[in-house]
Amino acid sequence: MEAARDDGETPSRSSTALSVQPTDAQLVDRCRHGDEQAWRALVERFSRYVYAISQQAFHLPEHDAEDVFQEVFARVYEHLPELRQDDAVRPWIGQLTRRLCIDKLRSNSREQPEGDEEALAGTGADDTIAELETAFDVHEALAGLPGHCREILDRFFAKDESYRSIGEALELPAGTIASRISRCLAKLRDEFEADT
C-alpha cells in the first residue's frame, strides 16, 4: 500500500468558499459598463482601505472617516470614466482619500497653517499609508493563490488557528499542516514578487 503523497495540491471541501476574485481592472471595466454588482464589489474591495487611511494614517474620528468614505466613493463613481488605466484604481482611490482627509482636517482645525499637509496629517501618515499599501499587495497576492493555499494561510495567519485545529477542519494530519503552510508561503512569495 502506497502512502498518500503530500504535494499541497489537495483542495479541501471548503476551499470553494474562497473563489478567485476579478482583478481591479476587470471590476473597473465592468463598472464602466453599468454593472451594479461590480460597483458593489469595487466599493467592498476598497472600503477597508479608505477607512484605514482615514483612521490609521490621518486619525480621523469615525464620523469624519464616514464622511470621507462617502465623498471618496461619490467621486470615484462620478469620475471613473476618466480613469486612464483601469488597473490604477487603487492608487487613485488612495490619493483621493488622502486629499479628502487633509481637506477634512483643515475644515476641522482652522488654526493649522494652510498648505502644511504634514502637520495636518501627522508625522506618520505616509509611513502608515505605505504599510497599508503593502498589506493590500499581500492580500492581492493571496487572491492569486489556489484555494487550498488561501484557506490554509488564512486559517493559520489571519484566524490564528493551531496546526491541530486546521488539520481537523481540513481532515489532514496535524503534522502535514506545517509542510503545506511552507509550500503555500513559497507560492505566496512567488506571487507577491511577480506582482511587484
Q: What percent of the chain has pLDDT above 70?
A: 79
Q: What is the pLDDT of residues 84-108, one digit of tens each?
A: 999 899 999 999 999 999 999 888 7
Task: Give me the long-range contacts of 12-18 (CB less than 8 A, separation at least 24).
Answer: 12/148, 12/151, 12/169, 12/170, 12/171, 13/171, 14/151, 14/169, 14/170, 15/146, 15/147, 15/148, 15/150, 15/151, 16/147, 17/151, 18/147, 18/150, 18/151, 18/154
pLDDT of residue 20: 64
| Domain extent listing, the chain | 21-122, 144-196
C-alpha 68/C-alpha 51 separation (Å) is 8
Cell of residue 47, nine digits: 472600503
**Interacting residues of 7 by C-beta distance below 8 A, sequence separation 6+:** none
Amino acid of residue 35: D
Q: What percent of the chain has pLDDT above 90?
A: 37
pLDDT of residue 3: 40
For domain 144-196, give the fold.
Arc Repressor Mutant, subunit A (1.10.10)
- Domain 21-122: give its CATH architecture: Orthogonal Bundle (1.10)
Q: What is the pLDDT of residues 23-76, one digit of tens each?
A: 899 999 999 999 999 999 999 999 999 998 999 888 999 999 999 999 999 999
- The average pLDDT across 138-154 equals 83
